[in-house]
Amino acid sequence: MKLRNWIAGAGLLLLGACVPAGESFEEEALRYCDSQVRRTLAELKEVGGGSIDYTMMPRNIADSLTVWHCRKAVKEEWCSGFWPGILWYDYEATGDETIRQEAEKFTASLEFLSRTPAFDHDLGFLVFCSYGNGYQLTHNPAYKQVILNTADTLATLYSPTVGTILSWPRNVGMFGGHNTIMDNMINLEMLMWASKNGGDPSLANIAISHADKTMKYQFRDDYTSYHVAVYDTLTGDFIKGVTHQGYADNTMWARGQAWAIYGYTMMYRETELPRYLDFAQKVTDVYLQRLPEDYVPYWDFDAPGIPDAPRDASAAAIVASALLELSGYVPGEKGQGYKDAAIKMLQSLSSEKYQSRAEKPSFLLHSTGHWPCHSEIDASIIYADYYYIEALLRLKALDEQK
């Protein structure tokens, strides 16, 4: 995710405002992101009659619309951390103090989560993308405390009987047991970080137990993932693997697999346990083998209507970011292959087909949020933009290491 401690020496990159000669494609794309960020800030100010409501976070732009739909930062809104996280990344890219001030103001709207009982597992997305990115750049001790407190809150959802975090407490009845969703892998990063930065060291055991049990039960023999694993609350036994946002229980939902690729890569970085590195490659390889030509997946690999089914640019951005990291852990041709694939994904996402450009203030078009619920289909979605700018920064840092 955000804490790119796997790239030694990555710091403020300080891109210039004018077009430097010999600019790389990722530098050009980062300049594009910065201009879209400024456009969004200007629009939010205009909508607010001259002042920004820092509790309202950009969430999506429907296919047919051109302005952000914003949602209030409340505990039920899982995407509120991405916009502050984007602002921190843009500050990292530009070094511009006005962007930093905006990042601080939006980030502050999420502080309540560090003193509120857990609503669900999304606390990592919410607090680590915002406060985590902010802490990486500022070392503000108050930010650290928010992260540590929120990590303790997330840990309250852990069931020692099952060995995983209960992702959606509200859905225990609906699924018929303790549910763990693949997305939850990403939230383990905050637990790992807290365990090493002054929090309870046993938070790492929770993250490792969660990753191990998920590895054992939430994948089919071909390493494609179930979105949801359901466990017996009383015995911890695995009951079933099902989908929630994918097409069917036995299909590969693109973003679910993307979370798995990202999650196991991150868990290898954090633990150095070889089983996670091995598994990250297995879940990646099945994803890469089945991609369409432009490296941006259909929203589900078995979606009805392929090749006319909607794509999911968010999955492509998440995987691109993850593979840039994974490529650094895998030696030889295989690692280079992951880096090449990530670059193809980013080049595709940076093309006219996927960038919003003048049409909308988002970075990207063509993500799919929740197809079974007819929600956010072929839309701009804030987490696609978040992982896109993260991947561009990772690529830039890798290029600077050469």
State which residue, 91 or 253, has the beta carbon closest to ligand GLY.
253
Q: How many residues bind ligand GLY (CB under 6 A)?
A: 4
Query: Site residues for ligand GLY, window 319-378 (CB under 6 A)?
Result: 369
N residues, the chain? 402
Cβ neighbours, 10 Å, residue 78 = 18
The minimum distance between CB 83 and ligand GLY, in angstroms, equals 16
Q: Which phi and psi angles does 10 have, rounded to 5°?
A: -70, 125
Q: Which of residues 61-100 bind ligand GLY (CB under 6 A)?
A: none
| Min CB(278)–ligand GLY separation in Å | 25
Given the residues 34, 90, 120, 122, the one annotated as active site: 122
Are 107 and 130 within 8 A, CB to CB? yes
Q: Which element (helix H / strand E) includes 381?
A: strand 380-381
CB of 70 to ligand GLY, least distance (A): 18
- Indicate if 122 belongs to the active site: yes
Q: Give the residue, chosen from 26, 111, 120, 183, that forms a contact with ligand GLY under the rule CB under 6 A.
A: 183
Q: Is residue 340 annotated as a catalytic residue, yes or no?
A: no
**Nearest residue (CB) to ligand GLY, 84 versus 369:** 369
Q: Which of 34, 90, 120, 183 is catalytic?
A: 183
Within residues 194-253, the interface with ligand GLY by CB under 6 A covers 245
d(CA 375, CA 171): 19
Residue nearest ligand GLY, CB atom distance = 183
CB of 369 to ligand GLY, least distance (A): 6
Residue placing its CB nearer to ligand GLY in the complex, 183 or 325:
183
Quick check: 394 binds ligand GLY (CB under 6 A)?
Answer: no
Instruction: Look up tokens 């103001």; give the residue.
Output: 105
Question: Which listed residue (255, 269, 394, 396) binds ligand GLY by CB under 6 A?
Answer: 255
CB closer to ligand GLY out of 183 and 390: 183
Token couple for 5: 């401690």
How far apart, in Å, are the Cα atoms of 288 and each of 22, 224, 337, 355?
31, 11, 10, 22
Minimum CB distance to ligand GLY, residue 167 (Å): 9
Matching residue, tokens 């990344």:
89
The residue among 87 and 315 lying less far from ligand GLY, judged by its C-beta, is: 315
Residue 139 backbone class (left: φ over 0; alpha: ψ -120 to 50; beta: rest):
left
373-384 residues labelled b (16+ CB within 10 A) or e (exposed):
eeebbbbbbbbb
Q: In the bound complex, what is the minimum distance in angstroms from residue 337's beta carbon to ligand GLY?
A: 26
Q: Collect all residues with Cβ–Cβ distance below 8 Å to 21 and sequence separation of at least 6.
A: none
Which contiguous run of DSSP H or E holds residue 149?
A: helix 141-155
Q: Please state, in angstroms and rounded to a whole number, the distance separating the CA atoms of residues 327 and 333.
A: 10
* Residue with the two structure tokens 């619920």: 373
CA distance 53 to 119: 24
Least CB distance to ligand GLY at residue 287 (A): 15
CB atoms within 10 A of CB 65: 12
Choice between 146 and 258, CB closer to ligand GLY: 258
Of 153 and 245, nearer to ligand GLY (C-beta) is: 245
Instruction: Give the catalytic positions in this structure.
Output: 122, 183
Binding site for ligand GLY (CB under 6 A): 183, 245, 255, 369
